[in-house]
Structures are given as C-alpha cells and as structure tokens.
Structure 1
Amino acid sequence: MSRTRHVNCVIPPYILEKLLESDDRQVRQAALDTLLTTARLRGERAVRASFAAAASANGRRTVFDCEQGRFLQLAVLARSEDGPPATDEAANRAFDALGLTRDFYQEVFQRNSIDDRGMRLDGYVHFAVKFNNAFWDGREMVFGDGDGVKFGDLTRSLDVIAHELTHGVTDFTAGFEYHNQSGALNESISDVFGTLVKQWSLKQSVEEADWLIGTEVWTPGIDADALRSMKAPGTAFDNAQFGRDPQPDRMSRFVHMPDTEEGDHGAVHYNSGIPNKAFYLTAKRIGGFAWEAAGLIWYESLKVSQADFQFQDFADTTYRKAGELFGAGSTEQSAVLAAWREVEVPISGIPTGVARARSLAVDGSDGAGREDGVAALGRQLSALSTRVAELADDVAALKRAR
C-alpha cells in the first residue's frame, strides 16, 4: 500500500510533544489541540488528494480566511490572483509565498506549478485557534497562527511554505513513501527546495545563505535559531523547553524508531538531516548559486526516483545525474561523490580510494588541493590497473596448469 498520501506538517511531532510537558496550561492545550486536529486531517488526506489533479488553473493563487474555524469549506475569500491586496497581512504573506514558490519552479526548472500541469494554489490562513502548525494536505496549504508564546504566525516563513508545497512536487514525481528512509528523503527534498526558494528570492550565494529552515517560526522569547539546520544538523536549537535538536548528520548517528505514527514513521523528521547535509556539502563544494547546479542535480534525480528509494538509491541517482548533466568526473559530479561520502553513504561501485582522491580534488581551495587530489586519483587508477593485470596473469597461469 502506498504511503505517499500523508498530511505533511511544518512542525515536527517531537517538538509538539515537548510542549505537552510545558508548565503553561494554555501552551499544553494548544499543543494537544494541534496534535488532535492533525490526526483528524490525516483521515481526510486521501480524499482531498484524489481531486488534486483536477484543480488545474495555470498556477492561479487564491487565499481564504478560516477566521479561526476548522472547516475549510466555510472560509471566506481574502485575496485572489486578480484582486487587490488584502487588509490582512497574513493573507498577503501567504499569497506572496505561494507566488514565489510557483515562480521559482517555473523559472529555474520550467515546472508548471506543483503538478507540472498548472495546478491552482489555494491557501487558508487563520486556521483554528492557536494552531501550532501549517500543512500541505495534497490540495491546499493551511496556516495556523501559532500560540503566540512558543510559535508565531506560520505565514512568516517563506522556506517553510516552500517546504510544504514541495511535498506536493514530490507527490507528483518520485512519490517517496512516507516512512523510514524514503520518508526521510521526502522530508529532505522539501527542506532542499524550501531553502532554495528562499535563497533564489534573496539572490543569495551558497556562502551568503544561512541554510536554516524556519527561522521565523519561533517567537522572540524562544532561544532557538530555527527548526532545522542543513549546514549543521543537530544544532538548530538547544534549550530547556525543547532539548537539543535531535537530527543526525551522518549514517553512524542514524536514528532508529518504529514505523508508527508515534515513532515519526521511522524517524523521518530526524534522519532527513543526513541527506540535508549531503545537499549542503554538494552546494558548498560547487559554489555560486545553489539552485543552478546542485539544485538541478537534485531536481532531475527526484524526477527519476522511485517511491521506495533508500538513501543509497538516491545518492547513486544524484551521482549519475551529475555525470549526465555536467560530465563524468566533472567538479559537480565529484562534489556529489564527496558529499555523500562525508555523510557515510558511499556511492555504489566507486572504490574508497578513488572516492577519497576525488574528494581531495574538489575540496582544494587554492588549486593545490585539487592538483594533489588529481595526482592521488591517478595513482589509485594506476594501482587498480596493475592489480587487474596481475589477476589476468594469475587466471592465465591457472588455465595453463590444467
């Protein structure tokens, strides 16, 4: 049974569950209401998703105001594609973020909206009372206002909105099953393109970007940088209320949890830190604007991936795609190889020595490191050729002895 039909929420469950331990009764109640509402919405997800493909209108945006209600069909129109700006800033922020995400996919990857067929983009603001989340349900984006104590208005974060919409792109491409490693890939892809939308809108280079997801989600009273860090998974927050960011940054720190709702479907929000770090390292090694090369490699790999892909499958696909797009042995392909090797997902079929040599080549900062890496690669290939020749001689000798 496919597991791609899932309500994808911005705030990971391990954060909301921490709020249930708060000394503030209102904070506890807001967290409980958010978790219960999210559980109810999962039951509606499959029904909504089945109608998604039929709602095509050249990516036209419409934003509705739920007025703190929980029933989307009762929401009132706040802003349309052809109408004036709304008097409500949350509606305008949602409208602008929907447009920026749509335009990013169109201009950078020539993708026509979420489904590549002009799917309309509907957003709903002011959902429920003190709802500590925002989500994509297969058909529309829904935003809560936050409890005002721990979380603020969820429309304030562009990368979070782009993250959620990208779950839709994944649904219409690879359809990564939402559990275990494929589920972590699902979450990681949304972080990758969420941050790329933000970087593209600000015209930030790899070096200028902060590589943080959801910096605007927390209220000023919370001592935390963001929900997640792609540059350094496990460092986005560390405080008394939520503990320390639990994301791993390599396979030796992989988090094992049961494939249940309580187990975050096999720790999908935890282990997404591993492919996140691989993307960051790839972009860093290539340099420039991350969406131009690293983003293209990841996007083209997403389009040819399968629903049950594991980290190894996706790593191998990005390596192959980098070679197809930029040439075998190119800086871009070497960057992919080195990045996955650093997070302990070595590319299949590439000897360790060769991977290490090519990592040295692409990591050279002044040319000397690159030169040394190429020399090391040459030595490794020479040694392999010698070994192959020796094996051929041994086989010949065995045949003569018969």
Structure 2
Amino acid sequence: MASMCCIVPEHVLERAVEARQVPQHILNACQSTLEKTRELQNTRVAHGRHLLFGQEQQPSEGIVPPYIHEIIARQAVTEEQRDSSLSTVAHDTKYRVVAGKIRRLNRTIYNAHHSMDEDPARDKIMIKEGGPPITKEQDPSYDANECYNGFQKTYDFYFEFFKRDSIDDRGLKLDGFVHYGDRYLNAFWNGKEMVFGDGDGVIFNGFTDELDVIGHELTHGVVQYTMGKQSNWLIAEGIWGKGINGRGLRDMKAPGTAYDDSKVGSDPQPAHWKSFKKLPLTSDRGGVHINSGIPNRAFYLASTMIGGYSWETAGPVWYKALTSGELSENATFREFAELTIRNAGDYEEKIREAWKQVGYPFVEGRDEL
C-alpha cells in the first residue's frame, strides 16, 4: 500500500486548533481537515495504476523553437494566431525527446466540487492535455490552470534533468483534483493522484499556485514507484495567509525557522541530530515531517559546498540513491546518508561533510528515517 503525504503536517493544524486564535469556522476547517486526513491515512489508497500510451512514435523536431511560438501567442493580434501557436507548442512539446525517451506528458484536471470521497468522480473534467485553459468566468480561482501548469513544470524538471518520463518513468498519467472538500486546508498525493483543497484565505491561501507544493508531493510519487529544488530553500513559500508570520512550511537551509505565530505555533523542525524528536507513531507518524529537517539541511549543505545548480550536482546523487533499489521502507538516517556517499562520485568528500554537520553517523539508536 502507498502511504499518503500531505503538504501541511498534522502538527501545524493541531497547533492552530489548540491556540484557538482564529474564528470558529476556521477552527472547524482545521479540525475537519485533520479528521479527513487521518481517515485517508488510515485507509491509504493503493499504489497508482501504471498507464502506458500505445506504440511510441518517432520524435518530431521543429525548426521554430518553442519560445518563439510562446512570444507569438502572447503578442497575437487575433485569437486564430494565438491558438495556432499554442497548439504548435503543445504538439512539439508532447513529442520532444531526451536521450531516446519520448515525452509523454498527459494531464487531466478534475473538479472535486467540494466532495471528500476517497475515490473522486472523474466525470467533471476541467482541463485535458492540450485543451484550453479555464476562464475566470468558469472558475475565478484559476486553481485548475495553476495545477495544470504546475504538473507540466514538474514533469519537465524530471524529464530534462533526470531523463524520467513522469512519476513512474513510463508515462504515468498525471491527474489532479481541485476544490476538494469545504475549506480543506491541505494538498496531498494519495498514491495515484494529486488532490488540492481551497484553503481558507486566513491561515492558508490556495495550494495550486505554489510550484514547490506540487513538486514536493509528486516527488512522493517518484519515491513510491522506485523503492530536492528551490533557490531560497523554502518549501511552500507564500502558502500562509495574510497576517501569519511565516516564510513557508519548511526551510531546508535553516530548519526550525520557517514560521512562528501564535495562531499556528512555531516551526518544530530540528536542524541537527542532537535535536532529533523521538515521537510515537500517532504523532506525525513518528516525526516523519518534523525530523525531515535534518536530511533537508544535509542536502542544502551538500549543494552549497559543491556549488552550481543543486539539480545538476547533489540532486542527481540523491536521486540515484533513492532509485538504486538498495533503500528499504525502514531505512535509517545513517543508511540513506551512506547510500548517497557511495553514489557521490567526485562529490564524496563534500557530501560526507554535509552529513557530518547534521550529526552523521547518527548514533544513540535514534536513527529511524
């Protein structure tokens, strides 16, 4: 069974409920989100279906690069010009290749219509691959458009930098459901699709406009099928509502400093093994989100010590370790650290040093990953 991971950890919502410094309807939204999240985690949706797309086609290479068509579309005098350029870009993009792999991006965005069904109905399609964006009249939130675009950017990232064709590396269809629940304060990958609540506009804004939310959750799918990315090292920057003192949900550079507000508490993430929080499985599933600050900071340290773009240096090392087949579901901090070191190549010394700075070799028997 695939585990479900939400972008907003339970402890954040629990602290908001305990603080009781927001209106009752917001407290109700926090509580109902917690209850539904726990229900979903308990049932856990089965592994995502593998979806293959018939016979592979030979790639087509256009003489006019995509960025020219994109400029034409933005500056088009007529709708016909705009539509023609956009359809050309969509077609060329669909069949672009990297190292012999055919690009098979296939997205569908659905409207959950505020339902909280475990298996949402798929009869309310908002955007299909290559289709027109949603207009403001159809949906003022633009959530569907943001989700659709975020899926492409995440797919592009894996395809261009890791030569990976979708989550399962075999063209898995990317499905997204927006408008899930009534003021549902979370977004999650449930094992086969992405699901987005609307937020409440007080504690949390919407979740679809933050690319690293989508990237983070879809990466859970990559891990699922095989067993980081931002310049400011924040996860879900801009997710907090107006008046909340926070820069994001997590800070990979400085775990424990992402937010501090009486309405939601302070960021509990440790930055070093000496501050590891040993928690029961009933609390953040043993600290899976909270204690991730330690390996997050190790990745930040490794990336900055090596220099350059992290997705070209430390990123491929972490990815190789994750997809090596040597990582078990119960891997420890130490086991994962040593796996990255073994796969580090020319970066071995710096990656080893990065792990040392957060407590490697993680002694005292408290090394559950």
Correspondence 1:30-109 to 2 at 5 A: 30-47=29-46, 49=47, 52-57=48-53, 58-71=104-117, 72-73=120-121, 76-87=124-135, 88=139, 89-109=142-162
Q: 1:118 matched to which residue of 2?
A: 171
Q: Cα offset for 1:162?
A: 0.7
Q: Cα offset for 1:271?
A: 0.6
Distance 1:86 1:235 in 2: 37
Q: Cα offset for 1:238?
A: 1.3
Q: 2:3 matched to which residue of 1?
A: 6
Distance 2:362 2:315 in 1: 19
Runs of 4+ in 1 over 6 A off after TM superposition: none
Structure 1's 251 and 101: CA in aligned 2 closer, same or farther, altered over 3 A?
Answer: same
- 8 Å CA contact 1:211–1:230 kept in 2: the answer is yes
Q: Cα offset for 1:97?
A: 0.6
**Which residue, out of 271, 282, 288, partners 2:308?**
288
Q: Gapped runs of 5+ residues in structure 2?
A: 54-103, 364-369
Deviations 1:224-252, CA, capped at 9 Å, x for gaps:
11100000000001121222210001111
**Which residue, out of 148, 151, 170, partners 2:204?**
151
The SS at the match of 1:31 is helix
Q: Cα offset for 1:215?
A: 1.0
- 8 Å CA contact 1:9–1:133 kept in 2: the answer is yes
Q: What TM-score comes out, normalization by structure 1 length? A: 0.72
Q: Gapped runs of 5+ residues in structure 1?
A: 175-191, 200-208, 327-331, 349-402
- The percentage of counterpart residues that share the same residue type is 42
Correspondence 1:316-355 to 2 at 5 A: 316-323=338-345, 326=346, 332-346=347-361
The SS at the match of 2:175 is strand
**Which residue, out of 247, 252, 259, partners 2:281?**
259
Q: Cα offset for 1:103?
A: 1.1
Distance 1:153 1:45 in 2: 24
The reply on whether 1:271 has 2:304 as its aligned counterpart is: no
Distance 2:179 2:360 in 1: 42
Correspondence 1:126-137 to 2 at 5 A: 126-137=179-190
Distance 2:362 2:3 in 1: 30
Task: Give the residue type in structure 2 aligned to 1:83.
Answer: G
- 8 Å CA contact 1:258–1:265 kept in 2: the answer is yes
Per residue, is there more helix in 1 or in 2? 1
The SS at the match of 1:155 is coil
Q: Cα offset for 1:299?
A: 0.4
Greater RCO (CA < 8 Å, at least 6 residues apart): 2
Structure 1's 245 and 43: CA in aligned 2 closer, same or farther, altered over 3 A?
Answer: closer
Task: Give the residue type in structure 2 aligned to 1:101.
Answer: T
RMSD across aligned C-alpha pairs, in angstroms? 1.6
